[in-house]
A and B are shown apart, each in its own frame.
Chain A
Amino acid sequence: MTPPTPRGGVRFRTGAVALTATVTVAAGLAACSPSGSQNSSSGGSTFVVARTGDIDKLDPHLATAFQTQQTLGLVYSTLVKTSPTGQIQPDLATKWTTSSDGKTLDFTLRSGVTWQDGSPFTSKDVKASIERILDQKTGAVSRSNLVAIKKVDAPDDTSVVLHLSQPSASLLYSLTTVNSSIESAKDISAGTVGKKPNGTGAFAWNAWNPGQQVVLTGNAKYFGGAPKIKKLEFRVIPDESSILSGMKASAFQLGLISDPGVARQAGKADAYSLVKQPALAYHVLMLNGRKGPLKNQQVRQAISCAVDRNQVMQTAAYGDGTVTGPITSPAFAYSPTDGLPCTPGDTAKAKSMLAAAGYAQGFSLTTIVETGEYATAGAEAQNLQSQLAKIGVKLTLKQLSTGPYVSAWLDADYDAAVALNGGSYDPFLMYGRYFTSGGSLAKPAGLNSSTLADLLTQGNATSDDGKRQGTFRNLQKELLTESPWVWTFRSDDYYLVGSNVHGFTPRPDELLSSLTATS
């Protein structure tokens, strides 16, 4: 009997084994190589903040992406700043007074402040910065919030006077945002703003590797005291699970994540602690009150009553958040449902309201949902859809990527929109552009209401805190009664703080100002 002719060989088996062995050894060596070892947070080495996005521009007047604001907010200062609870505090201005008619703001500036390039800071810089924002050619987004400023005077090096066309209590708050940062007059006239950031803040610009990292160095001459961190690096790690893994491996000192699913996996660990901070931004189902059945206030109220906000929050964010009403400003905290004609989630009541309005058989609403921007949109939309189905209101979901979503949103080309809108420390800044007459975002507001417009203007016209508290409480009530939108919840931002890090406190506006004092 002939043995079959052998075709394979022992050779190839050994070849495969040898190959696998080589690669495994190489992988092991790479893992143990010294450059793979971690940075500790002890003074002297770099403090690394890992986040998913990169900054997108170097001019604070144009910066809207939160990463850019976080970074530039550490390099630049503003006239005034807010505490995490919403109190206005001195920054470059040490004192300010408002005239009795509210149309003049007088600021006393700090002396002895220097720009990071060494030149001295004077009132000329403030004047140039504000005028730059107001100049339409700049295209600065905060212009609409500072448009009340008619004229800026700089009578001496440490004084600035703002002349307003009408009183505006929110103006001070507008001046605290990164978009209102004070830039050097020299840079502005030379046209070099946006080339290399030069500010008066706690950290000076060092380098930017687009797509990889931004490096800042501690400003020893900072007027608030030199920061303990000598070198601050913002590293771009596009995948949130990778940020979590990096924190576990102690590769970063601070990790910023926003996906509740990833936060859940963080659990407890020795290398870090998970800190949750409610954000100013609010999740909302916006209704287009100028279309069809939504024109009827009772219909809108019925929809608002049908939604159990807690359920939306549990489904979308695993409960990491707070149920909220329209106003999220920390200094103006009111009941989230006072003003609604029912208890939210009361399906029976909602159904009867709908029937009373003449829509017992229900109707459908084309609802736009943004994909790819934040983690909870899809889950929120689906939960709202299932809840509203119970009263016969059918949400037809249209998933759109950012570009088309923004276009549709600005044009109010929808019946309803699942949205995450930005909040502010001042309620007028939150809703002025929607509900005042001629507001820039009147279209997505969905309806006109003179009551809302009056309340907003009233609240903004006075700096009397007592009066403002009352007026804005009524504003919230009226918003809930009118129900142009259904406010659901504020989600938590997640901060993975390395166990070696001390003195870091998160803020609802997502700025990282406490890094000036962190070690």
Chain B
Amino acid sequence: MSEPILAVRGLHTAIRTPSGPLEILRGVDLEVDRGETLAVVGESGSGKSFTALSIAGLLPAGAEVTSGQVLLEGRDLVALREPERRTVRGAEVGMVYQDPMTSLNPMMRIGRQVTEGLQAHGWSKDAARDRAVTVLGEVGLPSPQALMRLYPHQLSGGMRQRVLIACAIAPRPKVLIADEPTTALDVTIQQQIIQLVARLRDEYGIAVVWITHDLGVVARIADRVAVVYAGRVTELARTRSLFATPHHPYTDGLLRSLPTPGDPHQAPLPQIGGSPVALSALPPGCPFAPRCAHRQDRCDTEEPPLIDRAGSRAACWVPREDWHAPSAGVTGRA
């Protein structure tokens, strides 16, 4: 296996609160290969967005990476000084954001919003303009030449998201991080965007990190999945394996709560009992333990690292075969 193009090792990120620093990411480990799509899944508050921002170096004021590495082709981005980091941002690591309505500057023409990202990395004005027209066409927008002169409010939500994608891939980055890019769009557009990103990934050979909370999307686009809970990766597996045989009770719970066509009509969906853990009040040991059906004594005292389990890695002391009830995996999708 070739060296992963992007590897995150032991990433800790904390935010400054009035009562002291609060750790959001408590040691995240991920990797993505060239041309591969990694889905990062979790609930709101699990830390998946922060992971994306930490990788891109776009943390808001008051948040910073406290330790760990973000290796892009072996180069640690965290250790770079800001001016150097800036050359990487955009040119080598592109990012697409969740809300296309607010992520574009309402007072700047579309064309400029694409070309400025190129000119910031040394492209000449003419080359940038040509590239902008090309890439707007590549993301499937009609009449790119005319579109350059339009303003965001003149486009629909789906078109704006395509523009954002165009901005991100225009400088031909090596990695594209997509932070829930389809959450704010309706289902048909969602499908189009997913297909677009897949196509671009294949054409350009970029690595895609796709943040989402929607397992359906994961099934459609991801090669590998990282499940995030309470600021750590709890399971890392190939998509098919994850859906078929989850090795972490949290993943299992997530899968069970998905509605399937065979479910009885209007029957309540199974839920994971309890509520998501508060990062400021973490119990010792495994953070999922209070809600876990398969908990053992060791889970309450020691937090498990990622353990190899038949090709996947899961942060759980209890192997599948020792779970109390047999897990039903989900078959038939991918």
Q: List A residues at the B interface (Cβ < 8 Å).
A: 1-7
Contacts and interface: CB of A to CB of B under 8 A. Distances in A.
B82 A5 contact: yes
A2 B65 contact: yes
Contacts of B61: 4-5, 7
B334 to A, nearest CB: 37
A409 to B, nearest CB: 63
Contacts of A4: 61, 64
Can you list the 4 inter-chain pairs with the closest CB atoms, starting with the nearest? A2-B65, A2-B64, A3-B82, A2-B78
A6 B82 contact: yes
B103 interface: no
Nearest to B80: A2
A122 B82 CA distance: 97
Contacts of A1: 64-67, 78
A283 to B, nearest CB: 64
A235 to B, nearest CB: 52
Contacts of A6: 82
B81 interface: yes
B117 interface: no
21 contacts: A1-B64, A1-B65, A1-B66, A1-B67, A1-B78, A2-B57, A2-B59, A2-B64, A2-B65, A2-B78, A2-B82, A2-B85, A3-B81, A3-B82, A4-B61, A5-B57, A5-B59, A5-B61, A5-B82, A6-B82, A7-B61
Interface in B57-74: 57, 59, 61, 64-67
A491 to B, nearest CB: 63
Nearest to A5: B82
Contacts of B81: 3
Q: Is the interface of B mostly helix, strand, loop or mixed?
A: mixed
Interface string B205-244: 0000000000000000000000000000000000000000
Nearest to B68: A1
Interface string B25-43: 0000000000000000000
A5 to B, nearest CB: 6
B129 to A, nearest CB: 28
A6 B67 CA distance: 20
Contacts of B85: 2
A263 to B, nearest CB: 58
Interface of B: 57, 59, 61, 64-67, 78, 81-82, 85
Nearest to A7: B61
A5 B81 CA distance: 10
A1 B82 CA distance: 11
Nearest to B70: A2
Contacts of A3: 81-82
Contacts of B59: 2, 5
Contacts of A5: 57, 59, 61, 82
A374 to B, nearest CB: 58
Nearest to A6: B82
Contacts of B64: 1-2, 4
Nearest to B59: A2
A4 B62 CA distance: 8
Contacts of B78: 1-2
A1 B67 CA distance: 6
Given A5-B57, A5-B59, 9 more contacts: A1-B64, A1-B65, A2-B82, A3-B81, A3-B82, A5-B61, A5-B82, A6-B82, A7-B61
B50 to A, nearest CB: 13
A334 B288 CA distance: 106
Contacts of A2: 57, 59, 64-65, 78, 82, 85
A3 B81 CA distance: 7
A10 to B, nearest CB: 15
A511 to B, nearest CB: 68
A5 B66 CA distance: 15
A6 B66 CA distance: 18
B210 to A, nearest CB: 23
A6 B64 CA distance: 13
A456 B81 CA distance: 101
Nearest to A3: B82
A169 B88 CA distance: 105
Nearest to A2: B65
A401 to B, nearest CB: 51
A459 B311 CA distance: 130
A58 B62 CA distance: 73
A5 B67 CA distance: 17
A49 B82 CA distance: 68
Contacts of A7: 61
A1 B63 CA distance: 11
A410 to B, nearest CB: 64
A3 B57 CA distance: 10
A1 B68 CA distance: 8
B85 to A, nearest CB: 8
A4 B67 CA distance: 14
A454 B82 CA distance: 102
A7 B61 CA distance: 10
Nearest to B67: A1
Contacts of B57: 2, 5
A481 B259 CA distance: 109
B114 to A, nearest CB: 23
B139 to A, nearest CB: 28
Nearest to B61: A4
Nearest to B13: A2
A6 B83 CA distance: 10
Nearest to B81: A3
A5 B64 CA distance: 10
A2 B78 CA distance: 6
B78 to A, nearest CB: 6
Nearest to B54: A2
B68 to A, nearest CB: 10
A171 to B, nearest CB: 82
A228 B44 CA distance: 93
A7 to B, nearest CB: 8
A4 B16 CA distance: 12
A2 to B, nearest CB: 5
A2 B86 CA distance: 12
B61 to A, nearest CB: 7
B195 to A, nearest CB: 34
- Quick one: which of A1, A2, A5, A6 has the most chain B CB within 10 A? A2
A4 B57 CA distance: 10
A6 B81 CA distance: 11
A4 to B, nearest CB: 6
B131 to A, nearest CB: 27
Contacts of B66: 1
B126 to A, nearest CB: 29
A345 B278 CA distance: 81
A466 to B, nearest CB: 94
A5 B85 CA distance: 10
A3 B61 CA distance: 11
A1 B21 CA distance: 14
A2 B77 CA distance: 9
B44 to A, nearest CB: 24
